[in-house]
Amino acid sequence: MKKFTAKSGFGRAPDDDLLIEAQAPIEGGGFRPVIFRRSRIDYLFGFNDEISGLTLDDGVTIPVAMPLAKLKQKVFQPDEDTDSGLDLMAVTGDVVNKVERIRLSRQFNPAAEMQEAKEEKPLDIVAHVHAQKADRQFKRVRFSEKIISFYEPHVDRPEKEIWVQLKDGHTAGGFTGFYMPLSLSNFLWYLDSARKEGRASLDLSEATRPKTSTEFKLD
């Protein structure tokens, strides 16, 4: 089995860390979407001429429906038009479901059987947010990561803000959803760093603080 380590120097500079979207296997069968930074990759490997895979630093292994050489090129020598993002959703998940039965075998992933599953606890997040697309009246709120339904870039300010939608029946500061003044890549970086450090909470108060006091909502 061919193996390619992420530490061999092909990647971009740390301040231009590629954002990767894929579908990762979950315990009991099936897949779930995940988004992670290229720096999280421990190594790439080839299973056969059609299937390769990547293993993250926490032991999660993601099978990919493409040869190892092509996966290596996409991850470590991406095209200029990737815009710091690599979408592997179409070549992961059900498309490689046929290899699900071997994804935990030593033949497919030598490290898998030696990895202990890590319990990932939801973070308690504090941030300044605003509820309306056009308003800039911020309010400091506290909420649990487990009540987030989804988050996505702001339609008009994708490089500056994200929309966070909470699950049905949940609110934060009276909001069922809100805008947070962070780009998606920065928000994911903060989440990833907090998880790596084993923290129970993530205080984004300073990172999301309005530049002027008049932007605060007082109620």
Does a structural domain hold residue 49? yes
Over the stretch 90-110, which tens digit does the pLDDT of each residue have?
998 888 865 544 444 444 454
> Collapsing DSSP states into helix, strand and coil, what is residue 102?
helix
Same domain, 9 and 91: yes
Same domain, 82 and 134: no
Same domain, 67 and 141: no
Over the stretch 171-214, which tens digit does the pLDDT of each residue have?
999 999 999 999 988 898 898 888 888 889 999 999 998 876 55
Among 114, 147, 177, identify where a domain stops.
Answer: 114
DSSP 185: H
pLDDT of residue 118: 55
Q: Is the pTM of this model over 0.75?
A: no
Q: What is the 3-state secondary structure (H, E, C) of 34-77?
A: EEEEHHHEEEEEECCCCCEEEEECCCCEEEECCCHHHHHHHHHC
Does a structural domain hold residue 186? yes
- CA pair distance 160, 158, nearest whole angstrom: 6
Among 54, 83, 114, identify where a domain stops.
Answer: 114
Among 114, 149, 170, identify where a domain stops.
Answer: 114
Same domain, 153 and 101: no
- CA pair distance 141, 96, nearest whole angstrom: 41
Does a structural domain hold residue 36? yes
Does a structural domain hold residue 90? yes
Q: Would you write out the chain's pLDDT as a tens digit for each of its 219 residues?
A: 444 444 443 334 444 678 999 988 877 677 888 899 998 998 898 877 888 889 888 888 899 999 999 999 999 888 766 566 899 999 988 888 655 444 444 444 544 444 454 566 889 999 999 988 777 789 999 999 999 999 898 888 888 899 999 999 999 999 999 999 999 888 988 988 888 888 899 999 999 988 765 554 433
Helix, strand, coil proportions of the chain in percent (round to 5)? 25, 30, 45
Same domain, 132 and 110: no
- For 49, residues 6+ apart whose C-beta sits below 8 A from its C-beta are 67
Same domain, 97 and 200: no
C-alpha distances (whole Å) from 7 to each of 12, 42, 44 are: 12, 8, 11
Does a structural domain hold residue 119? no
b/e sequence 91-119, b meaning 16+ C-beta within 10 Å: bbbebbbebbeebeeeebbeeeeeeeeee
- CA pair distance 117, 75, nearest whole angstrom: 25
Contact at 8 Å (CB) between 36 and 56? Answer: yes
Same domain, 142 and 91: no
pLDDT of residue 126: 96
Nearest to 20 by CA among 95, 90, 87: 87
pLDDT of residue 17: 76
Contact at 8 Å (CB) between 23 and 89? Answer: yes
pLDDT of residue 125: 96
Q: Which domain range does residue 186 map to?
A: 124-215
pLDDT of residue 16: 62
Number of Cβ atoms within 10 Å of the Cβ of 6: 21
In the chain, the number of structural domains is 2
Which residue reads 């990547």 in tokens?
54
List 52's β-bridge partners, or say none: 46, 64
Does a structural domain hold residue 134? yes
Same domain, 81 and 39: yes
Does a structural domain hold residue 24? yes
pLDDT of residue 78: 80
Same domain, 107 and 187: no
